[in-house]
Amino acid sequence: MIRKSPNRLELMKTREEIDVAKRGKEILQEKTDSLMSLFFSYVKSSSEKRKGMEVRISEAFKTMLFLESLSGNSSVRIGATSVPEGKIRTEERYLMGVGMPKLIWEPSGERFSFFNVPILFDELKSDFEWILGEVLSVGEMESGISILSSEIKKGRRVINSLENFVIPELESSKRWIDFRLEQISREDRLRYKIIKKKLGLF
């Protein structure tokens, strides 16, 4: 317990500190609950995207093998799975005060082209480009999940500190000041009675 000067001003300051700590705990708890909700939303969306991506990849490879068997060469595989040169640009967006990553693919090379081939070849290429976009999207979510998890842990540590240490310490100090002020008041009343008795004022 922090021993503070037992006076009215210190008592008022301690009460204010308790109110601030309790309000801060409530606000932080609300934020942490919201981050938890967002965290589970990201986990669910990431899982769903992964499942959808796995199905699309499986279908795309089946189509690719079929087209390879028709064409009799490997140009289908090279064209469908080739990724144009480029770079991944990272941006940051804020959700509830937490910086979340945004991954953007910026191609700089020429797209592989098929000449004199059925439309199915271009559709296959589009499938693999869609898969690339989903890989980036899942990567965003996985990074977001990691960041949210870290923020939730930080919030819980602060809440735990406020709930189990800071607030009880302040309340203990307040009780001690209340006790000392009451003790001082009793001593003052006793002295006053003694003085009155000595002065014959009873």
Q: Which residue has the tokens 């991506």?
A: 53
- Local confidence pLDDT in tens for the 202 residues of the chain: 556 677 889 999 999 999 999 999 999 999 999 999 999 999 999 999 999 888 888 888 887 777 777 766 555 565 555 556 667 888 888 888 889 988 887 776 555 554 445 566 777 777 877 888 888 899 999 999 999 999 999 999 999 999 999 999 999 999 999 999 898 888 878 887 777 777 766 5
Q: How many CB atoms lie within 10 A of CB 140?
A: 20
pLDDT of residue 120: 64
Query: What is the model's pTM?
Result: 0.74
Fold of 17-150: Helix Hairpins (1.10.287)
- Specify the DSSP class assigned to residue 109: S
Q: Are 112 and 75 in contact (CB under 8 A)?
A: no
For the chain, domain boundaries: 17-150
pLDDT of residue 76: 56
Q: Tell me: the pLDDT tens digits for 151-174? A: 999 999 999 999 999 999 999 999
**Tokens read off for 17:** 């500190």
